[in-house]
Amino acid sequence: MKQFIVLFLFVFVLASSKAGIISVPFNKIQNNASVSSFQQFMSTVTVQTFIELTPSKVQELTGYKMKFLEKAYFKLAQKKVKKQLRKGTIKQTDAVYEQFAKSENFNWGTFALCALLGPIGILIVYLSNYDDREVARRSAWRGLLTWAGIVAMVAYLLSV
């Protein structure tokens, strides 16, 4: 019985892991009037303005008060935009909302490749040429972690 509890907890933690995923929760906001004004505001904000914003300034401009987790996501999004600005992948005059709508934080192909092939999949991903290498490699490492979890679970079940 103890072994099944450990296995269940392991699978639960593996399935519910959201490590490294950054998203701005626009669709989780509950007040629809505030949502539309917030989204309209964010669609017109440039990168430079977005970097200088604070949650209190957003509340003043839109009338929407962010919750704690939304503030945390907002700060993470600002860090991501600053990093992209430093790399030169976006310009200061670009619209932030369009950048997040276009950006994809996960590559299912490289994830599946590494989840099935393990370390060989990582090697294939690093030798291949992808449009967004950072996203592809991050997804590949997540696939490798999934592969390692499956291998560890199977090894544990076979040893029992």
pTM, two decimal places: 0.43
Residue 144: inside a domain: yes
Residue 37: inside a domain: yes
Residues 62 and 111 in one domain: no
Q: What is the pLDDT of residue 31?
A: 47
Residue 145: inside a domain: yes
Domain C-terminal end among 63, 78, 102: 102
Q: Cα angle at 67 between 64 and 73, to 5 degrees?
A: 105
Other CB atoms within 10 Å distance of the CB of residue 113 = 23
Q: What is the pLDDT of residue 37?
A: 64
Residue 154: inside a domain: yes
Please answer whether residues 56 and 4 qualify as being in contact, where contact means their C-beta atoms are separated by less than 8 angstroms: no
> pLDDT tens, 110-157?
999 999 999 999 999 999 888 778 888 999 999 999 999 999 999 999
Count of the separate structural domains present in the chain: 2
* Residue 137: Cβ-neighbour burial (10 angstroms; 0-12, 13-18, 19+): middle
Residue 11: inside a domain: no
Q: What is the pLDDT of residue 25?
A: 46
CA distance 7 to 2: 9
Q: What is the pLDDT of residue 17?
A: 52
Q: What is the pLDDT of residue 19?
A: 47
For the chain, list residues with pLDDT below 50: 19-33
Residue 6: inside a domain: no
Residues 49 and 84 in one domain: yes
Q: Look up the domain containing 90 and give its range.
A: 26-102
